Amino acid sequence: MKTQIRFLTLSAGLILGVALPALGQIIYSNGPLDDDVDAWTINQGFVVSDTFTVSQGTSQINGVVFNGWVFPGDVLDSVEVAITSSEFGGTTYFNQQINFTQSQCSVNAYGFNVCEETGHFNGPTLGNGTYWLNLSNAMVNDGDPIYWDENSGEGCNSPGCPSQASENSVGTIPSESFTILGNATSSSGGTVPEPGSLTLLGCGFFAIVGTLRRRLRL
């Protein structure tokens, strides 16, 4: 029998807010890991789609960070990342299987590892507007399910947040915790500096990132 699992009591230290290599700035963040969340499957035929908003001028997207729930010992290898004009479709701006790096793992009250999952890629250049991030076909080292943390946009402060979200088998769902990375240009064509970059000109940009659902099926 399929059982819906409600996740309770998460470590306050597990938030997406760590520094990444100089690969881009935060284009959009839907907020950090929540203290009381569910999660949605992003493999085994399930797709989760969340909106994000580009508001800093034309932006070249080059990364995604999200929180994943994995069984102990499991490691996420890759995820199919698609950026589209509508949930699960419409105009496709990007669609590739992307390698992810797993870090910052900690065990939650139910025995799952909660990990920060980071993927970098040469993505599309997008103008101001709202787009959909679709995660699916996640590949785990032993074939187990992996789940995308749900936070309902709690704590987000990006224009356009909280995200709208859908799952391909159930429709509308609460949104997930994730961050979109990239390089934005201002309306005048100049580069929008990320935090601290005014003192690091010539050294490149340093990324600061904040960052299934099918409800967990066991």
Is the pLDDT at 152 greater than 70? The verdict is yes
| Residue with the larger pLDDT of the pair 43 and 191 | 43
Q: Tell me whether residue 214 is in a domain.
A: no
Q: What is the pLDDT of residues 6-61, one digit of tens each?
A: 333 333 333 333 333 345 799 999 999 875 578 999 999 999 999 999 999 999 99
Q: Tell me whether residue 17 is in a domain.
A: no
What pLDDT is attached to residue 212? Answer: 39
> Which range marks the domain in which residue 106 is found?
35-196+203-208
Q: Tell me whether residue 12 is in a domain.
A: no
Q: Is the dihedral of CA 116, 119, 123, 125 positive or negative?
A: positive
Is the pLDDT at 63 greater than 90? The verdict is yes
What pLDDT is attached to residue 187? Answer: 52
Q: Tell me whether residue 213 is in a domain.
A: no
Q: What is the pLDDT of residues 157-188, one digit of tens each?
A: 999 999 999 999 999 999 999 999 999 875 54
Q: Tell me whether residue 70 is in a domain.
A: yes
Q: Tell me whether residue 22 is in a domain.
A: no
Q: Are 79 and 137 in contact (CB under 8 A)?
A: yes
Q: How far apart are CA 166 and CA 164, in angstroms?
A: 7
Is the pLDDT at 74 greater than 60? The verdict is yes
Q: Are 212 and 57 in contact (CB under 8 A)?
A: no
Please state the domain count of the chain.
1
Q: What is the pLDDT of residues 86-122, one digit of tens each?
A: 999 999 999 999 999 999 998 888 888 999 999 999 9
Q: Tell me whether residue 1 is in a domain.
A: no
What pLDDT is attached to residue 174? Answer: 97
